[in-house]
Amino acid sequence: MNLEHLVAVYGSLKRGHFNHDLLNGAEFVGEDWLFEFTLYDLGPFPAVKRHPSEGVLVEIYRVTNQQLHRLDQLEGFDSEAPHKSFYLRVEVESSYGPVWVYEYNREVEPERLIGTGNWDLT
């Protein structure tokens, strides 16, 4: 069982945002751009959908199993019934190796697209 995971965050979990406290104790690994996702503004938080884009800016953290479980709860991910989850936890390649990303599991309106790929600039 893997005791550490790399997680890529793009919204309210990033430094300076309201859910960043959930990453207390996690190791900041670095920033990266993920090109297999498109970023959308859902109002109080963003979402990504798997669709190629100019890139989504993410922060990557090394987290424990316990921290990953807390992130799953925040994102509404249920490994027992992923099709019912609010977000899916999917693994993709980054410059730092495989990372978990929370992908929105609902439809999004195309006009909500964040073309910069950076939620901080919205």
> Tens digits of per-residue pLDDT, 80-113?
999 999 999 999 999 999 999 999 999 999 999 9
92 Cβ neighbours under 8 A, 6+ residues apart? 8, 34, 36, 37, 98, 99, 101
Q: Are residues 16 and 78 in contact, defined by beta-carbon separation less than 8 angstroms?
A: no
Q: Say how far apart CA 115 and CA 53 lie, in whole Å.
A: 8
Q: Which of 36, 59, 75, 93 is catalytic?
A: 75
Domains in the chain, ordered, with CATH? 4-116 (3.10.490.10)
Residue 113 is classified by DSSP as B
Residue 22 in this model has a pLDDT that exceeds 80: yes
**Would you call 93 a catalytic residue per the annotation?**
no
The predicted pLDDT at position 107 comes to 95
The predicted pLDDT at position 1 comes to 46
> Tens digits of per-residue pLDDT, 32-61?
999 999 999 999 899 999 999 999 999 999
The predicted pLDDT at position 51 comes to 94
